[in-house]
Structure 1
Amino acid sequence: MAKLSTIKQPIKQEMADFQVFFKSTMKSTTPLLDIITRFILRTKGKQMRPMLVFLSAGMHGKINDSTHHAAALIELMHTATLTHDDVVDDSNFRRGFFSINALWKNKIAVLIGDYLLARGLLLSVKHEQYKLLEVVSQAVDEMSQGELLQIEKARKLNITEEVYFKIIEQKTAALIAACVKAGALSADASSDVIEAMEQFGLKLGMAFQIKDDLFDYETNGITGKPSGNDIKEKKMTLPLIHVKDQLSAKEKRQILRLLKKKKKSKREVLNLIQLVNTHGGITYARQKMEEFKNDAIDILNRFPDSEYKNSLLEIVEYTVSRKK
């Protein structure tokens, strides 16, 4: 599995320039805002989404100012949604750091999310990047619908495999698709190419989320995510959905009763993880993840070889092989 530093090599300078530009997009005249945005910059993750924007643009043309605008818009929108998500989920941690709502409380966290959304809108309008704004706005629309669909289904715990795929396509894959679509758009790629890259992003995003969901069933602690966390939070993901559909009516009722319990013992969670493993839920989810991965690779292989394409191929492999 390639390291991110190797994957980033073709766009190393562009990513360095982007850090400076992205910082400037969040600058304000309000001291508290600047304190919090500096905190956001210090706690940023792998920045996979800007990487996808730049690699897609480089693969289909030239990286330019429009590409930087696209990457900044997506990163602003993404950070805003994460900030709001932490409030909704009452989460005190993000990537191993305290979340904004944990440090500055919910009201300020919501306002910070609103501010970041506004900065993204203003950036697009200032540079007349209306098509890019449309692409990212559609993704945020999908993400909101996916979140609400998940909440609706979680109440009754009646999530089918079809509904699960719809949820993760909207919640996760839509934004990844927007990254590569926006990158190709910024490089003036043809409509056929833009559509193909959007499909690539959707496949990559689906594989990414299934991999994330599989982490919940790891018991060795490598991921840093508590084992069975989704189960504790009453979230049904693909491994459990697949197994549930194989069980008798009585066994299904037992699982649903356990999931609905507010407090579950460690033994109860581990027993359910073992049940999922025994009935092939983890194997099935990995197979589905591989199918999406292979579909993504097939789409990329339609295009000429380049260092940008190689890095995108490596991102696909990294997505399904990562340890966290």
Structure 2
Amino acid sequence: MPGINEIKKPIAADIDAFEERFKSSMQSSVPLLDRITHYIVKRKGKQIRPMFVFFSASICGGINDSTHRGAALVELLHTATLVHDDVVDNSYQRRGFFSINALWKNKIAVLVGDFLLSKGLLLSIDNDDFELLRIVSEAVKQMSEGELLQVEKVRRMDVDEPVYYEVIRQKTASLIASCCACGAASAGADRETIEKMRLFGEKIGIAFQIKDDMFDFGTDDVGKPLGIDIKEKKVTLPLIYSLNHALSSERKRIINLVKNHNDDPKKIAEIIRFVNETGGLQYAETQMKKYQDEAFQILNTFPESDSRKGLEQLVRFTTERNK
């Protein structure tokens, strides 16, 4: 599989320009804010979401200034949600670095998240990008609803496959869907094409989250510590499948371990072993590939081009990664 730098070659110049614009979009007259946003920019990820915006615009008519603003909007709002999530989750690390709340405490982290959110809103309003703002605002609403739905279900350990898919559709897939829809809208695509790209992104987002959930039950060092979801009492697809195919007594025993012994490494290892031995990982892999294939079916309705190939490679990188 090509590396991320190879994948983004067709849009490399746009990504470079985006990074400069994204930096400038976070500028403030408050020195403390500038220090924190500089810290955020220096520890940015692989720019997967902006890449989805740019590739989607490219196959739907072409990249323009509106596309750059759409990519910045998505990244600003996404970064704001990550900063807030770390506060909510009491998390002190993000991608191996200290989180904002770890370095500057919760109050400042919440205010920084609010600042990034407002900068995204103003970027769209000042440039009359109301359709892009509508698309991304809908995603943020769904992400909040998905988080709350998960909290509600986790408390009661009341999660089946339909509920699981609804949670990850809202929590994760809605943002990638908004990236693809924003790209299409910025390029002047019609409603039908925008919706087609939104659905494409949603399927990729679901496949991405299933893959991420599989790492919790892996046996190799994949960059994500094993059992993190179990410790947080998250019932994910591999575990749901295994519980649904276990004897009643075994199901009750495993649920009890997840509920009451989720901080015991030996019990966590027992749950992981249970999922591996009962086919939970294999089932999740099958479902992940199903959503990936459905996304490719949508992508293949567009004419062949370097951008379509780049988008296909980006999908594979996102859903077939090892960490």
CA distance in 1, matches of 2:100, 2:261: 26
CA distance in 1, matches of 2:263, 2:121: 43
Is the 1:238–1:285 Cα contact (8 Å) retained in structure 2?
A: yes
- How far residue 265 of structure 1 moved from its aligned partner, in angstroms, is 2.3
Matches within 5 A, 1:156-171: 156-171=156-171
1:110-169 residue CA offsets vs partner (Å, 9 max, x unmatched): 000000000001111100111110000000000000000000000011100100000000
CA distance in 2, matches of 1:323, 1:220: 10
CA distance in 1, matches of 2:310, 2:8: 7
- How far residue 262 of structure 1 moved from its aligned partner, in angstroms, is 5.5
What residue in structure 2 maps to residue 239 of structure 1?
238
- How far residue 219 of structure 1 moved from its aligned partner, in angstroms, is 2.3
Matches within 5 A, 1:37-48: 37-48=37-48
What residue in structure 1 maps to residue 56 of structure 2?
56
- How far residue 190 of structure 1 moved from its aligned partner, in angstroms, is 1.7
Is the 1:216–1:226 Cα contact (8 Å) retained in structure 2?
A: yes
What residue in structure 1 maps to residue 124 of structure 2?
124
Greater displacement, 299-308 / 264-273: 264-273
What is the aligned-residue RMSD (CA, Å)?
Answer: 0.9
What residue in structure 1 maps to residue 192 of structure 2?
192
What residue in structure 1 maps to residue 278 of structure 2?
279
CA distance in 2, matches of 1:176, 1:169: 10
CA distance in 1, matches of 2:98, 2:143: 24
Greater displacement, 246-255 / 96-105: 246-255
Letter in 1 for 2:85: D
Is the 1:258–1:264 Cα contact (8 Å) retained in structure 2?
A: no
- How far residue 228 of structure 1 moved from its aligned partner, in angstroms, is 1.1
What residue in structure 1 maps to residue 71 of structure 2?
71
- How far residue 264 of structure 1 moved from its aligned partner, in angstroms, is 3.0
CA distance in 2, matches of 1:263, 1:127: 49
CA distance in 2, matches of 1:216, 1:80: 25
CA distance in 1, matches of 2:315, 2:37: 30
CA distance in 2, matches of 1:265, 1:314: 40
Q: Does 1:289 align with 2:323?
A: no
The 3 A distance-change label for structure 1 pair 87 and 262 is farther
Unaligned runs of 5+ in 2: none
What residue in structure 2 maps to residue 140 of structure 1?
140
- What TM-score does the superposition give when structure 1 sets the normalisation length? 0.98
Greater displacement, 257-266 / 72-81: 257-266
- How far residue 186 of structure 1 moved from its aligned partner, in angstroms, is 0.3
CA distance in 1, matches of 2:262, 2:312: 42
What residue in structure 2 maps to residue 13 of structure 1?
13
Is the 2:49–2:179 Cα contact (8 Å) retained in structure 1?
A: yes
CA distance in 2, matches of 1:229, 1:67: 36
CA distance in 2, matches of 1:108, 1:171: 24
Unaligned runs of 5+ in 1: none
What residue in structure 1 maps to residue 209 of structure 2?
209
Is the 1:173–1:206 Cα contact (8 Å) retained in structure 2?
A: yes
What residue in structure 1 maps to residue 104 of structure 2?
104
1:64-92 residue CA offsets vs partner (Å, 9 max, x unmatched): 11001100000000000000000000000
CA distance in 2, matches of 1:62, 1:219: 43
What residue in structure 2 maps to residue 305 of structure 1?
304
Is the 1:50–1:179 Cα contact (8 Å) retained in structure 2?
A: yes
3-state SS of the aligned residue for 1:273?
helix
Is the 1:53–1:70 Cα contact (8 Å) retained in structure 2?
A: yes
What residue in structure 2 maps to residue 319 of structure 1?
318
- How far residue 320 of structure 1 moved from its aligned partner, in angstroms, is 2.2
